[in-house]
Amino acid sequence: MSTSGEPLSLAAVLADRRSSGRAHPHGMKWSYVTRRVMPGVSTLVGPRVNDPRSGDLVVCRVTRIGEHDHCEDRWGRHVRLWPGDLLVGALGNRYATDFYEGYVPRGSRTHLLTAGGLIGDVLAAHDAHVVPTELEVIGAVVDDEMRPLSTEDFAAPTPPPARPRHATIAVVGSGMNAGKTTTAAAIVRGCAQAGLRVGAGKVTGSGSGKDRWSYIDSGAHSVADFLDFGMPSTFGYPLERLADTMVAIRDALAAEGADVVVLEIADGLLMPETSGLLERLGGIADSVVLAAVDALSARSGVEILRGLGLPVHVLSGLVSRSPLATREATEITGLPVFTPKALAASAALDLLGPSTNTAA
């Protein structure tokens, strides 16, 4: 890295590493949160920015392997990390009750918050996880005019208003790891198997190829998420920005021909951003599915959703793995509980209403 403040091409950084004996034969590792940065875009490595913000693209050196011994590349493939590797990622915040609480770093020493390439300082961690992988910020990714680049610079334009032909289904969870993505993917599968074109959207969370590929593998006709609209992670962004993005994801998927749109909202109902979005979900979602861990969380979640006037129609998630818990949840909420397998078979069509006409 130049000490004069002059930018270096990424190739020059690699050349410097080769001369010092620290080169990696595969060069830079571009993580998943950089997937909208097209390979043909001219990029350089400039000095670190003085006022770092969520979304800033940076080049980091891996200094110590901890929890994450791999990253996801632009396509979501797991790529092994080694000390000395150069990783291109994005600064951001993370809110994960079962993993890390992290924030945009202020110094050069920081951590890898997610395998998707989100970079920030870990403030607190779940005790099931070891120390985070440590990074050194080498510099900012800049353009030919030395302007620092951000995920914002590669965001899709706001689409025109549009609605899917049949329905928008929102999947929310009582908490983390309640089975939201599994449930959303099962709904995608069930509708796609019936001949419908399904658009799948991840409204909040941290950029991850795992979620995107889960939708695609289930038969999604089109996929969109918050990263498409400039955010590597949604924690810490203004609520109005998140609400506008939720609508933009729905509109973009509908404009691409989706008959049904499935929107997954990450984290639990008590997470501040999720709670705020739920208040704006009325008029967007025709049906809401709650993924719950057990009957007690199902009861509390349904009470919250009904209190907001939302059309919660079905329970799924981890609670559906136990026949006894399923019976408890149905008795206390009056709602049917569907396993992901049932949703993927045909139960997902119950969320569309009686007038839905599927393709032959």
Express each pLDDT in 190-209 by its tens digit: 999 999 999 999 999 998 99
CB 267 within 8 A of CB 237: no
CB 109 within 8 A of CB 134: yes
Neighbour-count burial of 241, counting CB atoms closer than 10 A to its CB (0-12 exposed, 13-18 middle, 19+ buried): middle
SS3 (DSSP) at 60 = strand
pLDDT of 330: 98
pLDDT of 302: 98
pLDDT of 11: 52
- 94-97: which pairs have CB atoms within 8 A and are 24 or more residues apart? 94/118, 94/120, 94/206, 94/233, 94/235, 95/235, 95/267, 95/271, 95/273, 96/126, 96/176, 96/206, 96/267, 97/126, 97/175, 97/176, 97/267, 97/268
Residue labelled with tokens 């913000």: 53
The structure's pTM equals: 0.89
Residue ranges and CATH numbers for the domains of the chain are 8-154 (no CATH), 167-351 (3.40.50.300)
Residue partners of 239: CB distance under 8 A and separation at least 6:
273, 276, 277
CB 294 within 8 A of CB 316: no
For the chain, residues with pLDDT lower than 50 are 1-6, 14-26, 355-360
pLDDT of 97: 81
Bridge partners of 8, per DSSP, are 45
pLDDT of 54: 97
CB burial string 165-200: b at 16+ within 10 A, e below: ebbbbbbbbbbbbbbbbbbbbbbbbbbbbbebbbbb
pLDDT of 2: 34
pLDDT of 9: 54
pLDDT of 10: 53
